[in-house]
Chain A
Amino acid sequence: MKDEHDAGTAEAGKTPDPITVSGPGGLVVPAGVVLRRTPLRALAGAARGDLLATAGAVLLAAIVLAALLAPWIAPYPEDGGTATHPAQALLSPGAGHWFGTDQVGRDILSRILFGARTSLFIAVAVLALAAAVGVTLGVVAGYAGGWVRDVIMRVTDVFLAFPALLLSLALAVVLQPSVATVVVAIAVTWWPWYARLTAAVAQSVSARGYVDAARCLGVPAPVIVFRHVLPNSVTPVTVQLSLDAGGVILTAAALSYLGLGAHEPTAEWGLMVQQGQSLFTTDWWVVTFPGLAILVTAFSFNVLGEGLRAALDPRGRSR
């Protein structure tokens, strides 16, 4: 579409050539060929033009695959768990250990692969929890309006008033340090964003003709919300989810780094960074590779999210 437009303006200075249609029986156009703009086609089209987002998607696919296949592709699968090899402590990167080994002789590459499982699990769990709560409250607030909306949005504002990391920290301190704690602590700070986003979209969807028509037909409110409002409000949320996944992974790493999340012997990137940082001047690889893993994963989610937003938002399609 864009190309045709550009071609048109490029010729604008000259007299346009007249368009003639000729041939036996005039112009023949095959009937019934309709190229629909399905989400998949939109994505495929966007992928062609958006190298960064495509790179993010490919990297993410690789990370997910690595996490799933960790027990089979890790060179030392037992190092993902409780194994220790004091004799091989702090070996520098080389043929036997591509990313070197840590203080207790565990292969860092293996632990990064297992750590991908922890990080992705936390990301998925946090986002599922936060989206479930946030979208539900948001859709109800957006459809109901009035005092229901006011109450829900004021509660949301209270949560948003706290800096996210601070609230997570406070919660993580109160609860026992564990992966589950990290998930709950982050989800508590994350859902209000989805509630606010969904409420805004749901409010505009609720004013559309098909919602009014359903109300006039006597369709019960819960059915209207579930059948009409929810499906037409979730697109921006799905984009936001992929944008946020990187942030969740960073926050989870931060909590584990501060000793409030995963603990030994769980393979977790933030924890690995924390354990390696004091060795940075002598054994740089212990802290560097897990740090890079965090960076690459968060970055991939971010560029993919940006790409999705550009592809699915009809107004901002060409960024």
Chain B
Amino acid sequence: MPVVHDVSLAVDAGGAGLIGESGSGKTTLARALLGLLRPRAGRITYGTADVTRLRRAERAGFRAAVQPVFQDGGEALNPRMRIGTSIAEGLTGRLRAAERRAAVAELMAGVGLDPALAGRRPHELSGGQRQRAVIARALAVRPRVLVLDEPTSALDVTVQARILDLLERLRGEHGLAYLLITHNLAVVDRLCGTSHVMFAGRVVESGPTGDLLTRPAHPYTLALRDAVPRVGGPPPAASGRTEASPAPSGCPFRRRCPLAVSRCREEAPRPRSLEGRRVACHRAEEVLGGRRG
């Protein structure tokens, strides 16, 4: 069972990034935010309402306000439905066929999709086109928040860039706030002012995205950043024992941490404020100072 503990984060107009490797709990958290999972304990608030305790009528409003954009793995769109029908799914009220078509065409044009593609099925579109269709479907209900779960991971680098351009433009046009879930630090930098790094179901470091990328304070953030390949640079090498499972006691990262000391085994680090961020590491000062182990 995937478990997420003690996570507090706020999604606002500046955009929030949630970074972590596979299995770190970021998608579980996103599903809870979307109301697809019910948390065992804790609160998720939207405005002033607790999402987990919404009444039927309020839930409809919340549902429309917070929409997911899942990654295109070919499964984000029903393979048997035409693109236009998928995009029209969220359109409510009694629309005549012509009105529905017009609304779909407008949504498609808004995300840079040729409305003539409305009659196609997902497998007849490119990955980038499918991702645009997924975004258009979410926009149909005029959401305020988009939960972007790896929105560009399945795409070519050049297509990725164009989808990010689109997301930046849509944020202004529709007044959207983004929660971006990814393992790709470069993507977070484009869309999110604040970032949260998750490891084993806990947030280990939070702060302004630029600070996190230039001067990480947690060894895990540092490892994630250094694992990003750079053009012309040396090929990235995984540092530490990346296959080790999270430790059950003390600091969960200690088995993989090059800086782990005996204190890390005895005492789980609590999140504390340090140079404009929150970090859960006993030796954060040394990481900030450039020490790598």
Residue contact A209 to B124, C-beta cutoff 8 Å: no
Binary contact readout A198-232 vs B (1 if CB under 8 angstroms, 0 otherwise): 00000000001110111111110000000110011
Chain B residue numbers with a CB within 8 Å of A219 are 89-90
B interface bracket (residues with beta carbon within 8 Å of A): 20 to 34
A interface bracket (residues with beta carbon within 8 Å of B): 10 to 19
CB within 8 Å of B: which of A24-81? 34, 36
Partner of A217, one of B36, B76, B81, B89: B89
Given contacts A216-B68, A217-B63, A219-B89, contact A210 B78 (CB under 8 A): yes
Given contacts A34-B124, A216-B34, A216-B63, contact A209 B70 (CB under 8 A): yes
Residue contact A210 to B124, C-beta cutoff 8 Å: no
Binary contact readout A146-177 vs B (1 if CB under 8 angstroms, 0 otherwise): 00000000000000000000000000000000
Chain A residue numbers with a CB within 8 Å of B68 are 212-213, 216
Given known contacts A213-B76, A217-B63, what 17 new A-B pairs fall within 8 Å (CB)?
A34-B124, A36-B123, A212-B70, A213-B68, A213-B89, A216-B34, A216-B35, A216-B63, A216-B68, A217-B140, A218-B63, A218-B92, A227-B78, A227-B81, A231-B78, A232-B79, A232-B80
Residue contact A228 to B78, C-beta cutoff 8 Å: yes
Q: Would you give the shortest CB distance from A5 to chain B, in whole angstroms?
A: 22
| Complex Cα–Cα for A217 and B91 (A) | 9
CB within 8 Å of A: which of B121-147? 123-124, 134, 137-138, 140-141
Interface presence of B179 (CB below 8 A): no
3 shortest interchain CB distances as A-B pairs = A209-B76, A217-B90, A209-B70
Partner of B67, one of A208, A216, A232: A216
Which chain B residue lies CB-closest to A219?
A: B89
Interface presence of B243 (CB below 8 A): no
CB within 8 Å of B: which of A231-277? 231-232
Which chain A residue lies CB-closest to B123?
A: A36
| Complex Cα–Cα for A218 and B64 (A) | 7
Greatest chain B CB density within 10 A among A214, A216, A228, A232 is at A216
Q: Would you give the shortest CB distance from A222 to chain B, in whole angstroms?
A: 14
Chain B residue numbers with a CB within 8 Å of A227 are 78, 81
Q: Would you give the shortest CB distance from B76 to chain A, in whole angstroms?
A: 4
Q: Would you give the shortest CB distance from B276 to chain A, in whole angstroms?
A: 34
Binary contact readout B52-81 vs A (1 if CB under 8 angstroms, 0 otherwise): 000000001001101110110101111111
Partner of B66, one of A209, A216, A231, A232: A216
**What are some 11 contacts across the A-B interface (CB < 8 A)?**
A209-B70, A213-B134, A215-B36, A216-B34, A216-B63, A217-B64, A217-B140, A217-B141, A218-B60, A218-B92, A227-B81
| Complex Cα–Cα for A208 and B74 (A) | 10
Given contacts A208-B75, A209-B76, A232-B79, contact A214 B89 (CB under 8 A): yes
Chain B residue numbers with a CB within 8 Å of A217 are 63-64, 67, 89-90, 137, 140-141
Chain A residue numbers with a CB within 8 Å of B63 are 216-218
Q: Would you give the shortest CB distance from A299 to chain B, in whole angstroms?
A: 33
Chain A residue numbers with a CB within 8 Å of B67 are 216-217
Given contacts A213-B137, A218-B90, contact A232 B78 (CB under 8 A): yes
| Complex Cα–Cα for A308 and B221 (A) | 51
| Complex Cα–Cα for A219 and B71 (A) | 20
Chain B residue numbers with a CB within 8 Å of A218 are 60, 63-64, 90, 92, 141
| Complex Cα–Cα for A212 and B66 (A) | 13
| Complex Cα–Cα for A219 and B67 (A) | 13
Q: Would you give the shortest CB distance from B178 to chain A, in whole angstroms?
A: 15
Binary contact readout A276-303 vs B (1 if CB under 8 angstroms, 0 otherwise): 0000000000000000000000000000
Chain A residue numbers with a CB within 8 Å of B71 are 209
Given contacts A216-B63, A218-B60, A218-B141, contact A210 B76 (CB under 8 A): yes
Chain A residue numbers with a CB within 8 Å of B90 are 217-219
Residue contact B141 to A209, C-beta cutoff 8 Å: no
Chain A residue numbers with a CB within 8 Å of B77 are 209-210
Given contacts A217-B90, A219-B89, contact A212 B137 (CB under 8 A): no
Chain A residue numbers with a CB within 8 Å of B123 are 36
Q: Would you give the shortest CB distance from A67 to chain B, in whole angstroms?
A: 33
Partner of B36, one of A36, A216, A228, A232: A216
| Complex Cα–Cα for A157 and B124 (A) | 42
Which chain A residue lies CB-closest to B141?
A: A217
Q: Would you give the shortest CB distance from B245 to chain A, in whole angstroms?
A: 24
| Complex Cα–Cα for A210 and B87 (A) | 11
